[in-house]
Amino acid sequence: MLTYILMQLLFVPIAIVVNLADNIDKLREKEVPFTEILDHYYNFSIYFSSSLLPLFLFLAITWFTSKLSANSEIIAIYSSGISIKRILRPYIVGSLIVAIFSLYIGMYVVPDSTKKYNDFSYKYLKGNKKAIDNKNIFRKISENDYIFLSQFNKNNNVGTNFTLESFSGNILVYKISSTSIRYIEDIEKFRLNNYSKRIVTDSSDIILNLRTFDTIFPFKVDDLVPLNYVAESLSYNELSKFIKTEKSRGSTNIDRYLVVKYKKWSVPFSILILTLIGFSVSSEKRRGGTGVNLAFGISVALIYVFFDKIFGVLAQQSDMSPIVAVWLPNLFFGFLAIYLLNNAKK
């Protein structure tokens, strides 16, 4: 456990220094207050350490066990008749503590830091260019009402080519369209330019045209263009409610949100799996000592990260089920852990 804490204390400050060196010019140019910078890097440290928590633990276990192997202590333990289950017991207990800790902070602590970290990054470092998906917006805003916009600019709260269609079953009741829509905060209403409303009746359609029209709709600006990182910034309970709401609105980003939700549960299991792999690859005494075990362990860790990222992208960009994409790397590396552990027994 102390080795794991040492890994955190070693890598997190390095990551902060690298990130600060990369962005110092932007921070000075925009004259960001020092207190905001301190708060940002506090949130950055939580975001960074939680993202790589399983890998930090994996490296700590690999390094610690490799030192034992290099000093022939693992061989001596085996020779004394102690079973591998007994040797693994403190590893499993330690990894369970870290897993439970990661599950809790991942659900209720990290989301708030992630939101603040991303808000700061887009405000001062990224220029709000990719914070939202603001084109070809289609939303279901109620049981019978659907809206469409070509795009929406959240900086000035203006959208183009707005359409609202209201149905009764499969029958169109009315349709509202305008060349632009703007939310005016002072009056808390939407202003539609070149407003047109078509009411469908059994006999003939009624059409109303106005140059401008102010009205209230049952949706907010944030409902139109949720932030790309909105799922990562919500606690588990909030995320579950958010996904349910987005499903009812016909959001096209459901798979992205589900990946975030399922990962909150998969990360603790990945900690246990990487613990077994870390012990297995480093418990054998090899020519080259600790360095060889660390190199092999880091290679396995990088492959795990690669699989995790690839399947996460596949879940968002293809028809692959999010739950399959999230758990498949754990399933594959779980079998690998069992295989390596059996070899370690020999």
Closest Cα partner for 256 from 199, 158, 334, 325? 325
- Mean pLDDT confidence for 220-233: 77
Asked if 142 and 120 sit in the same domain, the reply is no
For the chain, the average pLDDT equals 83
Cα gap 262→136, rounded to integer Å: 27
Residue 239 falls inside a structural domain: no
- Specify whether 144 is located in the same domain as 209: yes
Of 283 and 23, more confident: 23
Residue 235 lies in a domain: no
User: Domain check: are 10 and 89 in the same one?
Assistant: yes
Q: Which residue has the tokens 């027994």?
A: 345
The per-residue pLDDT for range 64-76, each reduced to its tens digit, is: 888 777 777 676 7
Percent of the chain with pLDDT over 90: 17
Q: 134 and 152 in contact (C-beta within 8 Å)?
A: yes
Closest-CA residue to 301 (of 327, 331, 271): 271
Handedness of CA 124, 125, 128, 132 (dihedral sign): negative
**Average pLDDT, stretch 282-305?**
73
**Residue type at position 105:** I
Segment 8-28, tens digit of pLDDT: 788 888 888 988 888 888 888
Residue 257 lies in a domain: yes
How many domains does the chain divide into? 2
Q: Is 237 inside a domain boundary?
A: no
* Per-residue confidence (pLDDT) for residue 257, from 0 to 100: 87
> Are residues 160 and 213 part of one domain?
yes
Residue 298 or 12, more confident: 12
Pairing of strands 171-184, 189-199: antiparallel
160 and 265 co-located in one domain: no
Give residue-wise pLDDT tens across range 74-101.
767 767 777 777 888 888 888 898 899 8
Burial of 272 (C-beta count, 10 Å sphere; 0-12/13-18/19+):
buried
* pLDDT given at position 179: 94
- The number of beta carbons lying within 10 Å of the beta carbon of residue 345 is 11
Place 133 in a pLDDT band, splitting at 50, 70 and 90: low
Asked if residue 116 and residue 9 are part of one domain, the reply reads yes
Least confident of 13-27, 207-221, 247-261, 285-299: 285-299
Q: What is the domain extent for residue 195?
A: 135-225
Q: Any residues with CB less than 8 A from the CB of 154 and at least 6 apart, and which?
A: 132, 134, 221, 225
Examine the domain organization and report whether 338 and 198 are in the same domain: no
